[in-house]
Amino acid sequence: MTAQDPKDTEAALAALRERIDAIDLELQRLLNARAEAAQEVARVKLEADPGAEPVFYRPEREAQVLARVKARNTGPMGSEEMARLFREIMSCCLALEQPLTVAYLGPEGTFTEAAAVKHFGHFARTRPMASIGEVFREVESGSAHYGVVPVENSTEGVVNHTLDSFMASKLQIAGEVELRIHHHLLIPPGVAPADLTRVLSHQQSLAQCRYWLDAHWPKLERIPVASNAEAAAMVRKDSNAAAIAGEMAAERYGLTRLADNIEDQPDNTTRFLVLGGQRVPPSGRDKTTLLVSTRNEPGALYQLLEPFHRHGISLTRLETRPSRAGNWSYVFFIDCEGHQDEPDVAQVIDELRAITIEVKSLGSFPRAVL
């Protein structure tokens, strides 16, 4: 192959750069036009009912937009990457309408913070809380518009504290976030690996990396702490300790990655719930979560599940928790496909109310898109 003349190469690159500059100019114009349209939406909502508090964040609308972005994408940019860009554009535009405050299970640098940013974008104001209960109270009091809490992990199971908090709460589920969990072994800069004597992390993270630790660092003492982010903060000035945490914690606390992706299950995923106060309209691809209390009698579970089978509604999750009503009585948390406003789902809920002690809808919400 004959080498291209340097002058021809430079001319070709100059033409491409000029084309990119023109595209950037058009992108900037269109982004500002979208922002102006978002501000106009806010104005119309405020003028429609001056005495009411308008709802600016529409989970079902954002889910529909992101789903369309992925469906119509033709590349070369990947569909996930394209949707993430639109997620940030919508986050910026929403901040022009109403800056959102989102409470999450802290401290800073946790996977829950990463889930909050993934769902709401970087333009939302995130606020760390010390416990799941505090996240619920922050949203219930109106101090935060929404909250984000973990509900289940694909390898370690359900987060019981989240389920229990719903029993006494009036909050609704406004969305879900699925986050692929990658754990890294983190140490402070300049620390010699040979000096390590212990590793700190949340007990679930230690469990999710137990086989890797057995194979590579069997002599390290494993110390459970309240969160991965707390572990990262604790080892910052400790020359004998490592932390297991995610990328956000590594960046937040200035730690070095000694080993990447040390989780035993490569598809390890945690699901988070978005808490809010409003009922979410259908998006076309939804889930509904129900809390059902049954009588302690033979066939109770069969009676509970039979209406879902008869109406052809698929269950995606079924969990049991002790009831606060008394010893040896239980409540069921049920995730099913569909929206509670859809006829079949509404019919199932009506039938359940006729045969159980209590049926409480925790909300219908769009299935995770990103």
Q: What residues contact residue 198 under an 8 Å CB cut-off, 6+ apart?
A: 220, 221, 222, 223, 240, 241, 242
For the domain spanning 282-366, the CATH number is 3.30.70.260
Can you give the pLDDT at residue 28? 98
pTM: 0.91
| Arch. (CATH architecture) of 99-181+269-275 | 3-Layer(aba) Sandwich (3.40)
Contact 220, 198 (CB under 8 A): yes
Can you give the pLDDT at residue 275? 98
Domain residue extents for the chain: 99-181+269-275, 184-259, 282-366
Q: pLDDT tens, 14-72?
A: 999 999 999 999 999 999 999 999 999 999 999 988 888 888 999 999 999 999 999 99
CATH top-level class of 184-259: alpha beta
Can you give the pLDDT at residue 325? 67
Q: What are phi and psi of 360, to 5 degrees?
A: -120, 120
Long-range pairs of 89-92 with CB within 8 A, sequence gap ≥ 24? 89/31, 89/34, 90/62, 90/65, 90/121, 91/120, 91/121, 91/122, 91/123, 91/124, 92/35, 92/121, 92/123
The residues with which 173 forms a beta bridge, in sequence order, are 275
| CA-based nearest residue to 226, from 134, 125, 121 | 134
Same fold, 99-181+269-275 and 184-259: yes
Number of H-type helices and E-type strands within the chain: 12, 15
Can you give the pLDDT at residue 6? 83
Can you give the pLDDT at residue 54? 86
Can you give the pLDDT at residue 2? 64
Can you give the pLDDT at residue 327? 60
Helix (H, G, I), strand (E, B) or coil at 252: helix
The residues with which 288 forms a beta bridge, in sequence order, are 336, 364
pLDDT tens across the length of the chain (370 residues): 567 788 889 999 999 999 999 999 999 999 999 999 999 999 999 998 888 888 899 999 999 999 999 999 999 999 999 999 999 999 999 999 989 999 999 999 999 999 999 999 999 999 999 999 999 999 999 999 999 999 998 888 899 999 999 998 999 999 999 999 999 999 999 999 999 999 999 998 999 999 999 999 999 999 999 899 999 999 998 999 999 999 999 999 999 999 999 999 989 899 999 999 999 999 999 999 999 998 888 888 999 999 999 999 999 999 998 887 666 578 999 999 999 999 999 999 999 999 999 999 999 999 999 8
